[in-house]
Homo-oligomer: A and B are copies of this chain.
Amino acid sequence: MKAVENSKTRGPLLSERLTTSGLRLTRQREQVYRVLLQKRDHPTADEVFLRAKRQMPDISLATVYNCLDALVQCGLVRHVHPGRGGSRFCPNMREHCHFYCEACGGVFDIDWPADHGGVPMPKGFEAKRYEIAIRGVCPDCGARPGHGAPPG
């Protein structure tokens, strides 16, 4: 039985995207990508490592960092920078911004309307991409004030 790419868990592109970027398809890269697609909660590298180890006990943290880097390089994953704590990773490549809940530390994708228009750049500045961070309180934490687990 030939393995068929399942876009639900693996995404349709991994093998192609890697090779067109001059990178190889490896078990570890598949596993790291699978982990990211399975639970889209913007895990840290260390969280990805813990989840990946469940099915691949010998994978190393250094490899997880390498794989995440490869996935970012070939355009399948975003590297997200939440200020405090380690950076996080997101397999949603649609244009969106990130909401950081100050009560529970959760990270949420927020749609970013296509008509954003951007910010007018002063002469000479060449903007390649925008990253919008929104800090506040998520629905769950807003509903039960004082009960949000502190971030970290």
Residues of chain A at the chain B interface (Cβ within 8 Å): 79, 81-84, 87, 97, 99, 102, 108, 110-113, 116, 119-140, 142-143
B133 touches A126 (CB 8 A): no
A137 to B128, CA, bound (A): 8
Known pairs A99-B125, A116-B119, A125-B136 / 16 extra A-B pairs, C-beta < 8 Å: A79-B83, A81-B82, A113-B120, A121-B134, A122-B139, A124-B138, A124-B140, A124-B143, A125-B142, A126-B137, A126-B142, A127-B136, A130-B132, A131-B132, A132-B132, A133-B133
B142 touches A127 (CB 8 A): no
Q: Which of A81, A121, A131 has the most CB of B within 10 A?
A: A131
A139 touches B127 (CB 8 A): no
Residue of B123, B124, B129, B134 touching A127 (CB-CB under 8 A)? B134
- A82: chain B residues at CB < 8 Å are 81
- The minimal Cβ–Cβ distance linking A32 to chain B, given in whole angstroms, is 20
A142 touches B119 (CB 8 A): no
- The minimal Cβ–Cβ distance linking A139 to chain B, given in whole angstroms, is 3
Residue of B87, B108, B121, B135 touching A128 (CB-CB under 8 A)? B135
A138 touches B119 (CB 8 A): no
- A132: chain B residues at CB < 8 Å are 119, 130-133
A113 to B131, CA, bound (A): 16
